[in-house]
Amino acid sequence: MKDNAVIRAENLTIRFARRKMPDILAVRSVSLSIGEKETVALVGESGSGKTTMGRALVRLLRPSRGTVWFKGQNVTTIHGKRLRHYHSQAQLIFQDPFASLNPFHTVGYHLERPLMNLRGLSERVARETVSDLLMQVGLTPTLVYQRKYPHELSGGQRQRVAIARALAGNPALVVADEPISMLDVSLRAEVLRLLQSIQEQHGLSYLYITHDLASARYLAHRIAVMYGASIVEMATAETLVRSPAHPYTHLLLAASVGSATDALPETQSGAPDLTESRVGCPFAPRCPLVMDRCRVETPPLVEVEPDHVSACFLHQEGTP
Ligand SMILES: Nc1ncnc2c1ncn2[C@@H]1O[C@H](COP(=O)(O)OP(=O)(O)O)[C@@H](O)[C@H]1O
Ligand SMILES: [Mg+2]
């Protein structure tokens, strides 16, 4: 994995200051790598640090600690021209396609701009390329869509424009942050299939952020489960769903199996503690299998079988 990793985060920590309150660590020493043409899903409930992690990988945020490697280059603290170039290589698709499009500009304008700014195309060539992009995301006839304004599009069409825009810079990595969660259920599978076919055509790598394990299983090769700023389990998609190891993953699965909604289990003891002074497993306050040890020591990620790691003392019998 290390050798063909397009992106690799090592011990990434992201701290946010809060007024008159202790700082929080929204991401706490997280390591993750994504290979060429690979999709890794980052799954977990709201507030677990997924968006923050995704923003740090594409360097919309500067990590407080740790390193981000992109194709072997350290991009953790790059700025200026190098950062602008990196932004063409690593793109983000947002949850809300309406909020990410400017209501005063046409679809064509939204796509021409990055083609000129990121790929350095002339206005004339950019205009021609716009119709290629629209074709790729299935918005045809392209001439019609090029002239439309965001409010003239459905949610699914807007998300297609957002996807086309992410492709404009010819990226190697796309972070898709809950790209279907605001779409009608009937449109979700279509957009996932589009992301998949684009990956096949362009050989892209994806970080697919979601709270929905079912869509993660559909799209991703590997799944990382995040809880309380940490990755608590990671495995191939099939293994994670078939033989989950971490109690939190069990809970997530129980919530998604057979339920038409993507509701997550109720939080009984509130959101996890994200302050730096937290001790023990982030999931301990909610864990049905909690042991004394879990409240004082943080379980490390350990291999439970090849390509499958989990951070739980239950798998570490024999250690005192
Ligand atoms: N810019 C910010 N400033 C302060 N706190 C933030 C900021 N962005 C996110 N957070 C906090 O970090 C935690 C993780 O948030 P986020 O990464 O958005 O989680 P998720 O995407 O999994 O819902 C939350 O407690 C959130 O309130
Ligand atoms: Mg989020």
pLDDT at 229 over 50: yes
Tokens for 113? Answer: 């701009």
pTM for this model (two decimals): 0.94
DSSP lists the bridge partners of residue 167 as: none
- Parallel, antiparallel or unpaired: strands 65-70 and 73-74: antiparallel
Give the model confidence (pLDDT) of 251-272 as tens digits.
999 988 655 444 444 445 578 9
- Is the pLDDT at 48 greater than 90, yes or no? yes
pLDDT at 90: 97
pLDDT at 315: 86
**pLDDT for residue 3:** 60
Q: How far is the CA of 51 from the centre of ligand 1 (A)?
A: 7
* Helix axis angle, 107-117 to 123-136, nearest 10°: 120
Q: For residue 94, give the amino acid letter.
A: F
Give the tens place of pLDDT for each residue, 152-184: 999 999 999 999 999 998 999 999 999 999 898
Mutate-to-test residue for ligand 1 from 19, 21, 50, 52, highest number of ligand atoms within 8 A of CB = 52
What are the angstrom distances between the C-alpha of 100 and each of 89, 119, 192?
19, 20, 19
Ligand 2 mean position to 271 CA, how many Å? 14
Catalogue all structural domains in the chain, each as residue range(s) with its CATH number: 5-104+149-315 (3.40.50.300)
Residues 6+ apart with CB under 8 A from 120: none
Residue 247 C-beta-side C-alpha neighbours within 13 Å = 17
For residue 51 and ligand 1, the question of a CB distance below 6 A is answered with yes
- C-alpha 293 to ligand 2 mean position (Å): 31
Indicate whether residue 26 lines ligand 1 (CB < 6 A).
Answer: yes
Report the distance separating Cα 164 and Cα 106, nearest Å: 13
Instruction: Say yes or no to pLDDT of 317 above 70.
Output: no
Q: What pLDDT is stored for residue 304 in this prediction? A: 96
pLDDT tens digits, 178-215: 999 989 888 899 999 999 999 999 999 999 999 999 99
> What is the distance between the alpha carbons of residues 34 and 2, in angstroms, rounded to a whole number?
9
pLDDT at 249 over 70: yes
Task: Please name the residue ranges forming H helices in 61-138.
Answer: 80-89, 107-117, 123-136
- For residue 258, the model assigns a pLDDT of 57
Sequence-ordered list of residues with C-beta below 8 angstroms from that of 144, at least 6 positions apart, any chain: none
Q: What angle do CA 169, 69, 309 make, to 5 degrees?
A: 115
